[in-house]
Structure 1
């Protein structure tokens, strides 16, 4: 591991923060300004991976059924839809973004902006036409994340944020956060959460430890592993695979010819350069937060071009 090369590279980048933990020990901590460490900041679509953790906890507690449960269990009106494929949608299809809705997040149909301008986001998503058989392919869709947040509220009898306070944020010691809601008061499942970089590191560490935190099991190891394994391979412009609202990939070093040069990892990602990377074989968690609106050049893939090679260096 070559931390000095990472530190040197950080001087030329305008990251908000970079935190690296190995073997549950913080080995690198970089902030743009001293205030960045304590400021709440948007994590954008990393919110999806936080929601995934909450769904796993709810399943472990029996508040939610198993992942093969049909969506009609929560929205029976789908049985009346003329497209029978909607009755085939399961909870896992929402988690893997393979529900089959005809959806283009941005551009094309501009589905995400249209949802956020609608008076009822959940209804908007449920009424979208189908383009695929559920489970056939992954299509990035923040609308299904909103369905999951609404389902969690319905099943748990409390808001998504309150559930997080009880079963995730509280145990992790996350005391400060902000979370947006839709017009019906459902916390946004796909974006809208603000956290500190150190709290993102806690989320990554929890997953590295397969759901254990200070000798307490917050999420079952079986659920952690299932949610972070590749369920479907993704299509361009994305790379790698997708699990339950977690991305998966493999980094291979061209400079080394050993098995250690190839490392599987999974990660949360959010618009503007927000990332939480977990590398199980290296017992390492990496958090990057950024504000690409400050960038004048195309963004660097900081993890794959700078951090991963340094972590694998002799």
Structure 2
């Protein structure tokens, strides 16, 4: 490996940080400046993979039921609306002014794989993540979106369904998401410095809004590399770790690879890896066959202009 060639490339690419560990040892460390190691920063949608871990922990504990469980267990308004639909006219139904009884088929697994079927455009339009954040009740906004697909049929990137998972976790455990994380994930990993944003009802944001230090992102990646074990303690069962990062559905275009339980899955030159991804260049890559974890953070707000640094600059150094 020629990691000595990396610093110049990373500085040119304006990365905020890059950390690489192999077999549990830090072998490369780059920071934009001396303050970066100690500063928490937005990890954006990498938050989704943290939330996935918390859901898995709650499943291991029996607090969250099996993934095949319908979400109407936690959102009974779906049942009420489905019954209400039965007395609506065909004209109203065609106009899309009422909820869809097919929403009763949406399961926890569908939320985790982003295949709930909601008509969602994420970054623009009336049924999007920005629109959701401008409403007084985010959960109600998501549940009231129409369906464009049958639940389970197709992956459609949707921070709204991540927020539903956050609400489910609260109902299932009786703790806020941050409290549950402190007790069962952050505490064991020694993660003390963080910030987690909330919605108007006080639910911690499921799809974004977590702030962490780069070194703590690396710890989280290492936990998954070690099959859920940290300092001889099984934080997450190996069975749910495996299911979380197993390809479930093809990623929707133009993204590549596959999607698991709020984890992306891909490969390069027969090297399989999975990763958490946040807008603007925030990544946690785990490469099991190489016993390697790679963390990247970036201040970039124009994601489309950014190259795939991991695939173009970092991973090739391990497979040359």
For Structure 1 versus Structure 2, the TM-score category normalised by the shorter chain is: over 0.9
Separation (CA, whole Å) in 2 of partners of 1:164 and 1:13: 33
Using the TM superposition, give the Cα deviation of residue 5 of structure 1 relative to its aligned residue in structure 2, in angstroms.
Answer: 2.5
* Gap regions ≥5 residues in structure 1: 253-261
* Post-superposition CA distance 1:180-231 (Å, at most 9, x none): 0000000000000000000000000000001000000000000000001100
> For 2:314, which of 282, 289, 307 is the aligned residue?
307
**Counterpart among 124, 142, 147 of residue 164 in structure 2:** 147
Partner of 1:20: 20
Segments ≥4 residues shifted beyond 6 Å: none
Q: Does 1:88 align with 2:105?
A: yes
Contact 1:5 1:310 in 2 (8 A): no
Which residues of 2 match residues 1-314 of structure 1 at below 5 A? 1-79=1-79, 80-81=81-82, 82=85, 83-109=100-126, 111-252=128-269, 262-293=270-301, 298-313=305-320
- 1:77 deviates by 1.8
- Partners of 2:171 and 2:281 lie apart in 1 by 32
- Partners of 1:285 and 1:138 in 2: how far apart? 26
Please report the RMSD computed on the Cα atoms of aligned residues, expressed in angstroms: 1.3
Deviations 1:217-253 (A, max 9, x none): 000000000001100001211110000000000112x
How many residue pairs end up in the alignment? 303
Distance 1:286 1:112 in 2: 28
Give the conservation status (yes or no) of the 8 Å contact 2:116–2:152.
yes
8 Å contact from structure 1 (residues 6, 310) kept in 2: no
Take 1:11 and 1:168, find their aligned partners in 2: how far apart are those partners? 32
Cα shift readout 1:83-123 (whole Å, capped 9, x = no counterpart)? 22100000000000000111110124351111101110001
Relative to the length of structure 1, the TM-score reads 0.94
For residue 217 of structure 2, give the secondary structure of its aligned residue in structure 1.
Answer: helix
How far apart, in 1, do the equivalents of 2:303 and 2:263 lie?
29
- 8 Å Cα contact 2:113-2:155 kept in structure 1: yes
Tell me how far apart the structure 2 counterparts of residues 225 and 152 of structure 1 sit (CA, whole Å): 20
Separation in 1, partners of 2:139, 2:303? 37
Residues 10, 129 of structure 1: alpha-carbon distance in 2 compared, 3 angstrom cutoff: same
Name the TM-score, length of structure 2 as normaliser: 0.92
Q: CA deviation at 1:8?
A: 3.7
Q: Distance in 1 between matches of 2:25 and 2:227?
A: 17
Moved more, 137-146 or 71-80: 71-80
